[in-house]
Amino acid sequence: MKRITDRFSETPRVVLFAIAAAFLARIAFAIVVPPEQTWSDSGGYQTIASNVANGAGFTMDGTTPTRERPPGYPLFLAAIYMVFGTHPWIAIILQALLGSLIVAFAYAVGRRLNGREAGVIAAILVACYPALIYYDTRILREGLTTVLVLVYAWTVTREAFVNDLSWTAVSGLLLGAIAFVRPELATLGLPGLMRLWGAQSLGGIIRRTLLLGLPVLLLWGPWMARNYSHFGDPSPVHDSVASAVWFGTRWADIGGEDRKREDHIALKQETWDLNNTNEGEGYAGRVAEDLAQRPGWMVGMVGKKAVLFWKDANGVRKTLPKILPLLATSVNIYYYVLLGFALAGIWTWRNRPVVRTLGFTILAYCLPYALLHVRNRYRVPLMPIVLILSAGGLSLFYAMIRVRLAVRQPSRSPDPQSA
């Protein structure tokens, strides 16, 4: 307990203020722009969570089992509804609270990166970044994923300083929770496995691998057994890998978020036709056909999906222009400036263990979306890590300015009359 109080007392007041401001900003935004609960994704999560909380099981219609959504986020909502009743606003408030508390983790990781100054800048950036405020106040899994990913990054960067298996165990538990919310992000185990390079024995390698991998298996095992019992195959979600690759590749080909309306309609029709003919084999066959007949195009689309992952700030197409047209342009410029500072921070401190770990975490996060399917909002849970690296670049820039000002300031000569 004393360690916790000591850490709290050591935290700069500006960070505590940033946590409070982050919470107030999220609540205020939720009031001004209430969450849309009937939107397809939000409505699905809300329906399943309500059914689970009311004893109807993981279902959409109250009777038939479903695997339309990964289980993590609906079960998170259901746990809240079981305690407080089926009130989405309670979930929004709790998500806003969690989204505010990660400001402290941003400070901690930023401090490891380049000292207290970088930590404070990271805390402020995470507290007020527009996309984080938005998704913390929606019935969508991005907010919860953001919390889990940043806390996971905090644990793996901690491992970069101490060779302690207990931190590997904590990382494994967080990795299991992340994968339960977004199965494709099991790839985040790769930064944790970086610690295997420093293992001194085969036994150490085995222990670390088990500590990272077992929580994922323990969470997904019962769920996959349930799916096998109900649907005849253990696939954790309804959509297959082949369908994600097929659709994601064509989504990138028509421009992703910048698609033309007629191209989107044509893709939706093609998808509907394929779903209603020979679903599983149809997608797998189409992907195999693409690989055989135009492998160069497939590789090119992987690269294009990687570019689309980082292209433009969140909300510049629809949400921000509705609030204020100039806001979209301003936020987009702000986003690209922060990306520039993040790259500067990565390059400057590329040999530091923390930077290597954070960089590898970013690559591991991007990997499944470059291979499968990418949407603009899939990037949101990664943004706190990017902002921490931006804080490193900003702190470096600030230090350079201070040095320049100190050099230019004339030295004060003694007053001859005082002699």
pLDDT in tens, 206-257: 777 888 888 888 889 999 999 999 988 888 887 788 889 999 999 999 998 8
245 Cβ partners below 8 Å, 6+ apart?
283, 287, 371, 372, 373
Banded pLDDT at 419 (limits 50, 70, 90): very low
Distance of CA 230 to the CA centre of its chain: 31
pLDDT value at position 205?
74
Banded pLDDT at 324 (limits 50, 70, 90): confident
pTM for the whole structure: 0.90
Residue 65 lies in a domain: no
Contact in structure between 8 and 104 (CB atoms under 8 Å):
no
135 Cβ partners below 8 Å, 6+ apart?
142, 143, 146, 314, 377, 380
Q: What is the C-alpha separation between 337 and 334, in angstroms, rounded? A: 5
Q: What is the C-alpha separation between 95 and 76, in angstroms, rounded? A: 11
Number of domains making up the chain: 1
Residue 72 lies in a domain: no
* pLDDT > 70? residue 7: no
Residue 214 lies in a domain: yes
Residue 45 lies in a domain: no
Contact in structure between 65 and 58 (CB atoms under 8 Å):
yes
pLDDT value at position 325?
81
Residue 188 lies in a domain: yes
pLDDT in tens, 288-304: 999 999 999 999 999 99
* pLDDT > 80? residue 197: no
Q: Reduced to 3 states, what is the DSSP secondary structure of residue 138?
A: coil
pLDDT value at position 213?
86
* pLDDT > 70? residue 6: no
Banded pLDDT at 380 (limits 50, 70, 90): very high
pLDDT value at position 114?
86
Q: What is the C-alpha separation between 234 and 402, in angstroms, rounded? A: 59
Tokens of 69: 């959504």
Q: What is the C-alpha separation between 386 and 78, in angstroms, rounded? A: 31
Banded pLDDT at 1 (limits 50, 70, 90): very low
Q: How far, in Å, are 59, 92, 125, 385, 403 from residue 391 at the CA level?
A: 43, 28, 8, 10, 18
| Maximum Cα interatomic distance, the chain, rounded to a whole number of Å | 98
How many other β-carbons are positioned within 10 Å of the β-carbon of residue 13? 7
* pLDDT > 80? residue 148: yes
Return the sign of the alpha-carbon dihedral for residues 55, 59, 60, 63.
negative
Work out the mean pLDDT of the chain and round it to a whole number.
87
pLDDT value at position 410?
61
Q: What is the C-alpha separation between 39 and 90, in angstroms, rounded? A: 19
> Among residues of the chain, what percentage have pLDDT more than 70?
89
Residue 60 lies in a domain: no
Give residue 241's domain range: 2-32+87-406
Phi, psi of 59 (to 5 degrees): -135, 160
7 Cβ partners below 8 Å, 6+ apart?
none
Q: What is the C-alpha separation between 185 and 36, in angstroms, rounded? A: 26
For 30-48, b/e burial (b = at least 16 CB within 10 A) is: beeeebeeeeebbebbbbb
Residue 66 lies in a domain: no
Q: What is the C-alpha separation between 187 and 249, in angstroms, rounded? A: 20
pLDDT value at position 12?
86
Banded pLDDT at 179 (limits 50, 70, 90): very high
Contact in structure between 393 and 345 (CB atoms under 8 Å):
yes
Q: What is the C-alpha separation between 368 and 348, in angstroms, rounded? A: 27
Residue 75 lies in a domain: no
